[in-house]
Structure formats: C-alpha cells, structure tokens
Chains A and B, each alone.
Chain A
Amino acid sequence: MVAADSERPNASGVSELLESRLSSAFRAPGIDRLSPRMFRRERSIPLRGSAAALCNNLSVLQLPARNLTHFGVVHGPSAQLLSAAPEGVPLAQRQLHAKEGAGVSPPLITQIHWCVLPFRVLLVLTSHRGIQMYESDGSVMVYWHALDAGDASLVQAAFARGIAASGHYVCVGTWSGQVLVFDIPTKGPNIVLSEELARHQTPISDIATEPAQGQDCVADTVTADDSGLLCVWRSGPKFKLLTQIPGFGVPCSSVQLWQGTIAAGYGNGQVRLYEASTGTVHVQIDAHARAICALDLAPEVGKLLSAAEDTFVHIWKLSRSPEDGYIEVEHCHGECVPDTQLCGARFCDPSGSSFAVTGYDVAEILRFSSI
C-alpha cells in the first residue's frame, strides 16, 4: 500500500508523457546517456501482501517467447508469484507457503528464486524449515529438504538463504555457512543432495553463477556470507574452490558474476568488483548511503543494477580496459524511489532496458523502463 506514491504517477503522468514524446522526437544514437532521465516509471503491479524486509526480495523470470514476465516476492510466512504482460497487467497469481513445523509462529520464507537449468526451470523457496523446489509455475512441489538445526536451533535460528543454478546443479546456502549442492535430473523429482560445501563460517547471504564457457578451472559460482567472505568455485561433480576473497566485517548481501568479474554489494553501501580468477579487487564504488539490498546483471550488455535501503537504484556499465584488460565501470543512471526502503531489484530483460524493484512494507512491484 503506497497511497502517497501511487498518486505520483497520476499527477505527473502528463509531464512524463510529454517527456517521452520529446525524447523520442529528438532521440539520436548515443544521446540516451546524456538525457537527465533515461528511465520512466511504468505502471506498478499490485501485490496481495507487502514485501518483507529481506535482501534480494524479488525474483524475475523472463519468458520472451510468451511475452510474459514472472515475478516472485516474499511477504513473510508466504510468498507471491505472479505473471504479467508487458503493460504490467497481472495475469495469474499464486501464493506459496513454507512447510509448517514445530515453533511458535508460522515459518518465515527467506527467499524465492527461479533456477534456470539447461533443460528445465525450477522455482526454489527457502525458509526457516528447509528448501522447497517447485516446477517453474509453483504448481507442483517436486522436492523438499528439511534443515537439521540440531542443538544450534536453541540459540540460533536455522534457515536456508542464497539460491543459484550452475549447470545441472542447484546451490542453496544455509545459516551455518554450508552450501548444499543438489543434482537435478532432466525431469522428475529424483533430486539428490550431491555435495555440501563447508568453507563459510557465517550464514550464506547470496550465491551467483554464470554459464561456464567450457574451459576448465574457470570460475562459474560465487558464494557470499554475512561476514563479507566470498568463495569462488568451479562447479562440477565435485565443486572446486578456486579462491577466497576475505570480508571486512560487513555482510555481503548480494553478489553477481559476469564474464569473470564478480560484483559484490555490501552492508556499508559499497559495490566492489573483483577478478574472479585471482580475487583481486579492481574497482571500489562508494555507491549507496545505506546497506545494499540487491544487485543484478544484464548479461547482454554488462550493465549492473544496484539497489539499497537509501531509496536509490543505480545502473552501472561494466567493461574491460582495452589497454590492460582491467575491469572498469561507468555510472549510467540513478533513480530515487521516494520513501521506499528497497529490498529487491531485478532487470526485466537481458539488455537491461527495464527493471523492477520492491520495497519493505510496499504492496506493489515498481517498474521502470528506458525511454
């Protein structure tokens, strides 16, 4: 519910329309970056429940063939899935719940994320009870993994968090710092826990992957934790640890991997870019005034999206220096979402020309697309 915010598009609708006409009339190649507003607020998608204050609390699955986009947002004890047409009209909705268990209150969901595997798409939901894997539309639960909290649960809450797919594996992080690797069959529910990676000492916060280019020993998976430590892996029947990037006492809330570059967003508002193969830091951006809640990458163009609790979204262009091959970055766009403590942000297309954000306590998905 954002009564105050929802008035804004109506009030400024005319000027936005004018702005878009003007810009399209005068548009010329290369001018986009110079225009003061590269993105325009589109119609919001209403949610049944507001978004919970969790990092990476928005998952987007693009289905260009059907001209549809799936969105997933965690409300608290439930999560909402919906698919929307390009105009933002919600077409189908579904509510998912964490499996019940012992405890005072219904278990809270920590994250939902679509895992795009080479041959199938799974929707993975993590909670304080365990890991639930569904067919991509959330209709059928194909796998359930209960967390074994043991004695630790008396002093520490057990949960799973951090979800990513690498090859035919789905990696899920846990509160203890372990990363569970599941081997996913081409079809059916015969999912097997194939490996447990134990290199982190604090809760896993996020996991990033990118399709390997076929070479051996190329980093394709990065795991991040609450102390800021990053572990860089090569996936396979046995995951190989390539390098570790030490933290500095600040949680790394979100991580992305693109063409050998790791982008990590931290609780102190910084974004750091590392060389995945060596772990060397190449760029340090004082990007936000509050904790970063989400990063996303548009793989076709190397654009990085960062969103934070300071109500700002920034878009960055990553590249390699033609002279020495070092990672470089350029600021492309900044957008304030007034009075919204952002908690999720995703690009909605591979070229980075549209993105969506969610905010704590806000019962809608806010969408932006380039003019």
Chain B
Amino acid sequence: MSMRTLPLLFLNLGGEMLYILDQRLRAQNIPGDKARKVMNDIISTMFNQKFMDELFKPQELYSKKALRTVYDRLAHASIMRLNQASMDKLYDLMTMAFKYQVLLCPRPKDVLLVTLNHLDAIKGLIQDSPTILHQVDKTFRQLTDIYGGLSAGEFQLIRQTLLIFFQDLHIRVSIFLKDKVQNSSGRFVLPVSGPVPWGTEVPGLIRTFNNKGKEVKRTEFKHGGSYVAAPKEGSLELYGDRVLKLGTNMYSVNRPVETHMSAASKNLASQTQESIVPNPLAKEELNLLARLIGGMEIQKPSGPEPGFRLNLFTTDEEEEQAALTRPEELSYKVINIQATQDQQTNQELVRIMGEFEITDQSRQSSSKGDDWLAMMDEL
C-alpha cells in the first residue's frame, strides 16, 4: 500500500507511548529530576535527525512484531526499565489508541492533524531543553513539507494501509470502555452525529440540474444520522489550531492507564495466521529494521546514575500475573533470532545488540529482573 505510512505510524505510536510514560512516572512518584531525564532522553532519541531521515524515506511498513522492537529500544533509551509484561501493556495501549484515532479520523487527510496533535503535546512534555524542542520542530517541518502536499487519494491509501496494519486487533482498554467509545467486544463505537468532515456537506439533500447546469430542483431525504456542518479546517501551521481533538493526551492523574487484556477476540484463525506461518521475509525485514534502528542513537549512560523500573500495572503482583496470563495470540514473540548463534547473518543488528548490552551492564547494580539477552532473543 502506501510507502509513506511509516513516519505517521511511528510518530503517533511514539506520541501515545510518551503520554503513557508521563502518566505512569507521575503515578509511581518518580522523583522530578529522574522523570525529566527519562522523558527528555526518550524524546531526543525518538527525534534524532539521522533516525528521522531514515524513517522518512519511502518504504513499506514493518510487521507488528518488528515495529514492537523499535519501541522496546526507544522505551529503554534512558535510565528507566520496563519488564516484558509492562512493555506488552504499553504497546497494547499505544496501538489501540492510535487505531481508534485512525478509525475515527473524519477525512483520511486528518491523520496528519492527529500527528500534529501528538507533536504539539510532545513539545509540552519536554522540560528545559531548547535543543530537543528544536529537534521536534524540525520533524514538524519535515512532516508538513512532505505530507502537506499529498492529495486526498494518497491520504486515503495511507489510511487504508494503517487500518490494515491494525486489523483484527481488539484489545479492550479501560479508558475507552469508561468513555463508552469501545464496546465489550473490543470494537470501537462509531458515532452517527457531530460535525461532518471538512469538505463534506451534511447529508440529506438532492439537487437536480438541467442540461445547462442550472439547478432546477431540490429535494430532501432522511439520512438517519444527525450531523452538523464542519466548523473549520484544522491548521498545519507550527502553532496552529488543529480543531480536531484526536491525538491529544487523554490521560491525566484522574484518568489512569489501565488495560483489560481481552479474551474477547475469539476469532483467532485470522489473527494467528501471521504467527503460525514462518515468514520467509523476516530476514529481509530485519535488515531494514537494523538500518532504521541503527539511526537511533542511544546515549551512553554518563556516570553512575541509578536507574529504576517502571511498572505499567498498579502492583508488582499484577504485573507478574499479567505476564503469566497473557493470551498466546497476543504474544509478540515471533521473529526468532538467536542473537548468539546467528551473528554472521546480520552484523549490523549484532552491532546494535552490542549497544544494548552496554546499557545493560550500566544498570546491573541498580535494577533487578529483566534480562536483556532474553529480550533480544525475542526480536
């Protein structure tokens, strides 16, 4: 489908990740300076210029599993650690949130406004760093330069590509269930009221014209929905009014991050298809992935700064339980490379893994639990 989909997918999922991390850092009462370091480190890694240049090259989308490894790496770009269960939950929340936003986008083009909402909010999460703010603004310009000129047809293709990426993913998210925008089966509620998209008329009118193009008759019909006209078009300017609310931060202290792991997805035939069939293309995908991740410069820890572990669940027990009870079909363990055995097949990836290990050593003293090598084996 569209070769221009990956930057939008990456930036929006990344934005959702930052919203969730920000909320969890507060909920877990992580000291201000540490929380600030984590957010700034992750944001500056995410918007690294070399990485962005690689991302914006026209290319196909990665599989869900491969993309997940990119976020694993990103989430661990600072002194914070997440174990497998928390990382799974983080990724579930990110993907369902962006799926919702893509599905409810009034026009396909509005997926760009959703992205700008994320970038606007990310700038608000940066603390005391004009350099990182500048990085985000640069990506903003890259984004509007490329996407501002695309046609409605190209955006339709991008949106279809995103929807196909999220197809068959029906994880229930409590914040959506509470807001009644998701039903108990994991499907999103599609409203039949509110403003129509910019450029669309409120349905209900039939106009008839004669041979000369003169309007000769107007009749009305009952559409069935209750829509109002679109207020105005969202702005693509740096400090513009996006009008659209999709993509803004929906979490706050009063609206904590929670997920229900859904067993509602009973139709497994289609979902498991991807994981049962061994993918002969996995290796090629890994090459591309290595090139992409290679652009992500992880800062080497400077000095003996103590790390900490972030939990996406309320308690450690809940987290352990989630790891044990996660439905098999939601497992991301698919592309299976033995990091230790397959070194020659992909030197670039091994080099990157090497960087992971350095990070790993630096925090051995500070944190228990998660095993980096095990995680890399799940790549």
Given A3-B264, A281-B213, A341-B190, verify A312-B223 contact (CB < 8 Å): yes
Q: Is B221 a contact of A331 with CB atoms below 8 Å?
A: yes
Give 17 A-B pairs besides A267-B153, A326-B211, A334-B224 with Cβ atoms closer than 8 angstroms. Answer: A1-B266, A3-B264, A4-B185, A48-B270, A49-B270, A76-B167, A154-B58, A268-B200, A270-B201, A280-B211, A282-B209, A283-B206, A286-B204, A289-B192, A291-B107, A339-B183, A341-B103
Min CB distance B82 to A, Å, is 27
Q: Is A339 a contact of B164 with CB atoms below 8 Å?
A: no
User: B269 touches which one: A49, A104, A314 (CB < 8 A)?
Assistant: A49
Contact string against B for A residues 253-274, beta-carbon threshold 8 Å, 1 for contact and 0 otherwise: 1000000000000011110000
The yes or no answer to A297 lying at the interface (CB within 8 A) is no
User: B265 touches which one: A1, A286, A324, A360 (CB < 8 A)?
Assistant: A1
Please list the 7 inter-chain residue pairs (A to B) with the smallest Cβ-Cβ separation, ordered nearest first. A226-B153, A3-B185, A49-B270, A331-B221, A53-B163, A1-B267, A286-B201
- Closest B residue to A273 by CB, please name it: B208
The yes or no answer to A166 lying at the interface (CB within 8 A) is no
The yes or no answer to B3 lying at the interface (CB within 8 A) is yes
The complex places the Cα of A86 from the Cα of B199 at a distance, in Å, of 41
Residues on A close to B: CB < 8 A?
1-4, 48-50, 52-54, 75-76, 103-106, 108, 128, 154-157, 159, 202-203, 205, 225-227, 249-251, 253, 267-270, 278, 280-291, 310-312, 314, 324, 326, 328-329, 331, 334-336, 338-341, 360-361, 363
Q: What residues of B have a CB within 8 angstroms of the CB of A106 in the complex?
A: 279, 281
Min CB distance B243 to A, Å, is 17
Q: What residues of A have a CB within 8 angstroms of the CB of B156 in the complex?
A: 226, 251, 253, 267, 291
Q: Is B187 a contact of A339 with CB atoms below 8 Å?
A: yes
The complex places the Cα of A324 from the Cα of B210 at a distance, in Å, of 9
- Closest B residue to A153 by CB, please name it: B3
Interface of A is mostly: loop
The complex places the Cα of A29 from the Cα of B222 at a distance, in Å, of 23
The complex places the Cα of A52 from the Cα of B167 at a distance, in Å, of 7
The yes or no answer to B202 lying at the interface (CB within 8 A) is yes
Q: Is B270 a contact of A280 with CB atoms below 8 Å?
A: no
Q: What residues of A have a CB within 8 angstroms of the CB of B279 in the complex?
A: 106
Given A251-B156, A267-B152, A289-B200, verify A157-B1 contact (CB < 8 Å): yes
Q: What residues of A have a CB within 8 angstroms of the CB of B108 in the complex?
A: 267, 291
15 contacts between A and B (CB under 8 A): A1-B168, A3-B264, A52-B164, A52-B167, A104-B281, A105-B61, A225-B153, A251-B152, A253-B156, A283-B207, A310-B192, A326-B211, A336-B192, A339-B189, A361-B167
Q: What residues of A have a CB within 8 angstroms of the CB of B256 in the complex?
A: none
- Closest A residue to B66 by CB, please name it: A104
The yes or no answer to B295 lying at the interface (CB within 8 A) is no
Q: What residues of B have a CB within 8 angstroms of the CB of A202 in the complex?
A: 151, 153
